[in-house]
Structure 1
Amino acid sequence: MTDRDDHPGGPAGADHPDLRADCASCFGLCCVALPFARSADFAADKPAGQPCGNLRPDFRCGIHTRLRDSGYQGCTVFDCFGAGQKVSQVTFGGVDWRQAPGTARSMFAVFPVMRQLQELLRYVTEALGLAAARPVHKELRKARSRVDALTRGSAESIAALDVDALRGEVNALLLRASELVRAGVPGRPRDHRGADLMGARLARADLRGASLRGALLVAADLSGADLREADLIGADLRDADLRGADLTGALFLTQAQLDAARGDAATRVPPALGRPAHW
C-alpha cells in the first residue's frame, strides 16, 4: 500500500481505474505474496507467502498512515497496477486465501505475474493515447486485447505464462511509440538507455526527449532538469532529486517512480499523476 489514498497509477490510471490499485478490493496480496528483506526500505524480513505483521484481519495495513515513519518506505513506492483486485475478484472470484487456505499458494504465485501483465496494459494504454504514435496504434490495440485476455485466464494459465517473452514483444511496440513521439522534439535528444547514472550531477540538464529507459538514476541530481517527453520506462528514480524539474509529457512515468524520488512544489508532474505527500 502507498501513503496516498488517491493513487492514479499513471497517465492511464485516471481514465482506466482497472489499472490502478484498489486496495479495498484486494486480499492484501502485496503484503503476503511478496518477500522483503530488512533494509532501509523495510523494517523487518518477510518471506514470500507469509503475511506481514502489520496486515490486519480485514486485509488493511495497520500502519498505513505512518509507513515511512515506521521504516516501511518500500511499501509506499509499490504499485500493483490493479493486479491485486483482479487476482482477488476475477481470478479467484472474491474468495480470499483465509476463507480457502488451499488456494493460497496458487493465489500468491499468480499475483506477481498478474502485476507484470497489468503493468504492460498500463504502458500500452498510455501509448495508445499518444497522437504521434498513431502508426503503431493498430498493433498496440492488438497487444492490449491479447494481454487483457491473458489476465482473465485461469490461475494455472496465468502462472504458466512466459512473461519475459511477452514483455519483449510488447516492449518493441512501446519503443517504437516512444521513438515516434521523441522524433518530434527539437534538437538531438540524448540516449541514456540503460545507463548507470547513479548519483550523476544532472542539475538543469536538457534531457527533453531523452531515452532514459532502464537507466539507473538512484540519488541523481536532476533538480531543474528538463525531462519533457523523456522516456522513463523502467528508470530507477529512487531518491533522485527532482526539485524544480519539468516532467511534463514524460513517457511511461509511473506514480511509483515519482513516489520513490524527491521533489518539491516547483516540480512539474504530468496532470494524471499525483504529487507525493512526502515532497
Structure 2
Amino acid sequence: MPSGLAALLDDIAGITKLAAASLDDVAGAAGKAGTKAVGVVVDDAAVTPGYAMGFTPDRELPIVWKIAVGSFRNKLLFLLPGALLLSAFAPWAVTPILMLGGAYLCFEATEKIIEAFSPHEAGEELEELALSSKDLEAQKVAGAIRTDLILSGEIMAIALADVADRPLAIQAGSLALVGVLLTIAVYGVVGLIVKMDDIGLHLAQRRTRLVRGLGRGLVKAMPVTMEALTVIGTAAMLWVGGGIIVHGLEHFGLDTVPHLVEGASHWAAGVPGVGVVTGWMAMAAGSAVVGFIIGGVIVAAVHLIPRKKAH
C-alpha cells in the first residue's frame, strides 16, 4: 500500500512538472510572439480612444468596456480558432493573409492622410447629428470593434507566425495568452486616456497648489494628446502595414523593395552612438513609404475608379 501511494505521488509530481514545463513553454512563446506584435498594439491603443470621445463622461468607460469585450470576442471566439485551423491545414496562407491585413492598414492610414488635407464634407457630420446618442454610441462601438478585428487579426497572425513550429497545444495557449494580455493592456491604457481630463478636473479642485497645477496641466494636455495619438496611430498603421508587406515580399523571394529598405536601415545604423535608434527609424520610415504607396494605389482603386465609371 505505501509503495502504491509513493508511486501515485511520483506520478502526480511528474504530471505537475510536465504541466509546469508546458506553462513555461506557453509563457515563453507568448512573450516572444507578443513582442513581434508591438507595432500593431501601439496602433490599436492610439486609434481606439477616438471612438469614445465626444460622449458624456459617464458613458466613456462603458464604451471602452463594450469595445474591449468585442475585442476579446474577436480574438478568442473567431481569430484563435481560425489561426489554429490555418496552422493545422494551411500554414502557407499565413503570410498572404498577413499581407492582405497589412494592405488594409495602409489603405486606412492613407485615406486618413488624404482626408486630413481635403475639404471636409458636412454630410457625415449631419448624419451623426441626426442620430440619437444611443444610436451614435452603438455605431461608434460597432466601428471600433470592426477596426479591432483587423488589428487583432494582425496581432494573432504575427504571433502565429512566431509559434508555427510549436505543438498545437502550445500554439493555442500562446495565442490565447497573447490575446488576453494585450487586450487588457491596450484597453487599460485607452480607459486611462479617455478619463485623463476628468482626472485632471478632479485634481484641479484639490487644496494643494502642486496637485491643482498637475490637474490643470492634464486638462490642457488632453486636446494635444488626442491630436498626437491621431498622428501616432496613422504613422503606426503605415509603418506596421508597410513592414508586413515588405517582409511578405521577402518571404516570396521578391527582394528588390526589402533590400532597399534594409539598405537604408543599415546605412542609418552607422551613425555613431545612436545607430540602433537611427537604423530602426530608417527601417520604420522605409516601411511607411512602402505602405503609403500601396495605400495610395488602393485608395485610388476604391474611390477614383468607381467615380470615373459613374461619370
| TM-score tier (shorter) | 0.3 to 0.5
Alignment TM-score, normalising by the size of structure 1: 0.33
Q: Decide which structure has greater helix share.
A: 2
| Higher RCO (C-alpha under 8 Å, 6+ residues apart) | 2
Alignment TM-score, normalising by the size of structure 2: 0.30
